[in-house]
Homo-oligomer: A and B are copies of this chain.
């Protein structure tokens, strides 16, 4: 008879509808939701049911509630919070290793698929790196450097790859920041240039070579810090 598992609870139905509203942009990120009273009427459920649905999305990172103020949309995806929770319980070096693996793939894909606009933006970030290095602004340098590498992933034209990379970067941002703090400005501006050149010329093998070089350097620096 294979009775179809179980009926979906009201709470899950409401939560799904809310996720849909957030996903399709009807409830835009940053916007405030209608008050509970109104939502109760719109969804036709009691306050308890509605609140359980809201709380589920709050926990997932999609919504944010403030007592006395209201509920606002925090993100379109729950992936960030989930990855953050997961990486909290994971080894930092393992997480870094995976993130670098994504970057390696991204560099090769970017060499294949980059647009002219991508190359332009990459050049722009390198300029920002140099400018920040000249005026000894370490924070600006780190910010531009991270943006450069993120731009490579964007140029790979794979949204899944980009989502994972960005959320991993967020989750371990503090650690990445500290590693770069430790090694000052000098380290990889030459590699930046060579890598950009390869991507620009769509030289997949060259991109692979230089990104591997960068990864090797980065891992070495990390080892130096943790062992020092």
Interface residues of A (CB under 8 A from B): 6, 9, 11-12, 15, 23, 48, 51-53, 55-60, 65-67, 77-79, 81-83, 85-87, 89-91, 94-95, 97-98, 101-102, 104-105, 109, 158-161, 163-164
Closest Cβ–Cβ distance, residue A149 to chain B (whole Å): 16
Q: Are B23 and A98 in contact (CB under 8 A)?
A: no
Q: Which of chain B's residues have a CB closer than 8 A to the CB of A86?
A: 77-79, 163
Q: Give the CA-CA distance A59 to B61 in the complex, in Å.
A: 12
* Residue numbers in B under 8 Å from A104 (CB-CB): 101, 105
**A54 to nearest B CB, angstroms?**
9
Give the complex CA separation of A223 and B161 in angstroms. 19
Cβ of A207 to closest chain B Cβ, rounded Å = 14
* CB-based contact A90/B11 at 8 Å: no
Bound Cα distance from A81 to B60, whole angstroms: 11
Number of copies: 2
B101 and A15 contact, CB distance less than 8 A: no
- The 8 Å CB contact of A56, one of B56, B102, B105, B159, is B56
Give A205 Cβ to nearest chain B Cβ, in Å: 12
User: In chain B, what residue has the closest Cβ to A23?
Assistant: B89
A51 contacts across to B, CB distance below 8 A: 48, 52
By beta carbon, the residue of chain B nearest A101 is B105
B52 near A97 with CB under 8 A, answer: no
What's the nearest-Cβ distance from chain B to residue A160, in Å? 4
A160 touches B87 (CB 8 A): yes
Bound CA span A67–B9, Å: 9
B residues in contact with A52, CB < 8 Å? 51-52, 55
Across the interface, A55 reaches (CB within 8 A) one of B23, B56, B82, B105, namely B56
- Kindly provide the distance from the CB of A83 to the nearest chain B CB, expressed in whole angstroms: 7
> Out of B60, B65, B91, B160, which one reaches A98, CB within 8 Å?
B160
Given A79-B82, A90-B163, list of 14 further CB < 8 A pairs? A6-B66, A9-B65, A12-B59, A48-B48, A51-B52, A77-B86, A78-B86, A82-B83, A94-B161, A97-B158, A97-B161, A98-B158, A101-B161, A164-B164
